[in-house]
A and B are shown apart, each in its own frame.
Chain A
């Protein structure tokens, strides 16, 4: 269950950074998840799929990079910017 709380917080961080209007342009949300972070990665991936497929997002996918330790953070976003 707490993976959904984490996924919602990831969505909050991404939306705050790009703004609600541009959230639909986010294509990648990259996370670093430590082996001791207390997170079930497959479960988190599922929850992120749910969060990132809904407004204000829609086309974003999560990219989880596994790390040692208990790190749990959003590393970077990739945003598709119209030329």
Chain B
């Protein structure tokens, strides 16, 4: 018996990253800013998108790829807000979207007639951090009903994200949530994180978010 050692040194998930690069090339060629929304379940990603579609969907075409573990409920909610395509990906138990699923979803989206693309990931602050989907930037959404220390508990997600949305700020008078502390924890993990403070329910703080998105669409100003 002879044991032979074979050097590999291949990054795990390189296939995913290859597909992500292809997705990125396609959306860049079409000039479509693409954002991957990540959060724990219940932070308000879908509500944020509903508000966004209501406000900005009248100005320019927005497409959404939305992932859910088992249902198409989120896709149905979003489809009521836009005539544009909402592409549902049911992951069948998987806790994250991968680039192959996004690449497949792109087949159904007319990129040349799209100005902004959202990928709504599966609600999970761990696994989606490890998967490049070809987005321009990850946007992590968390809410004031969660702990201020979410950034410290899930540092990889906050490190991988370029932007953060602190949602449900309408509930601040009723919950013991210290915004400065939460932002401090987040910047401890990622000093470059830019914040938005929103209530997707009442609309409070949404103007800054809309301005940011308009800048992306009209000026392609994603900061990497």
Contact = CB atoms under 8 A, between A and B. Distances in A.
Contacts, number: 88
Interface in B5-56: 5-16
B10 A36 contact: no
Interface in B98-135: 98, 126-127, 129-131
Contacts of A75: 7-9
B138 interface: no
Interface residues of A, number: 30
Interface string B186-219: 0000000000000000000000000000000000
Contacts of A80: 1-3
Contact of A83 (B2, B94, B127): B2
Contact of B156 (A13, A18, A36, A76): A36
Nearest to A25: B4
B93 interface: yes
A12 interface: yes
A53 interface: no
A27 B98 CA distance: 30
A9 interface: yes
B5 A74 contact: no
Contact of A2 (B7, B14, B95): B95
Given A2-B96, A12-B15, A83 B1 contact: yes
A27 B11 CA distance: 20
A82 B1 contact: yes
Given A2-B95, A2-B130, A79 B156 contact: no
A72 B12 contact: yes
A38 B127 contact: yes
Contacts of B126: 2, 38
12 contacts: A2-B94, A2-B126, A2-B130, A9-B16, A38-B127, A70-B156, A72-B130, A74-B8, A75-B9, A77-B5, A79-B6, A82-B2
Interface of B: 1-16, 93-96, 98, 126-127, 129-131, 155-156, 159
The 4 closest A-B pairs by CB, nearest first: A2-B127, A1-B95, A74-B8, A38-B156
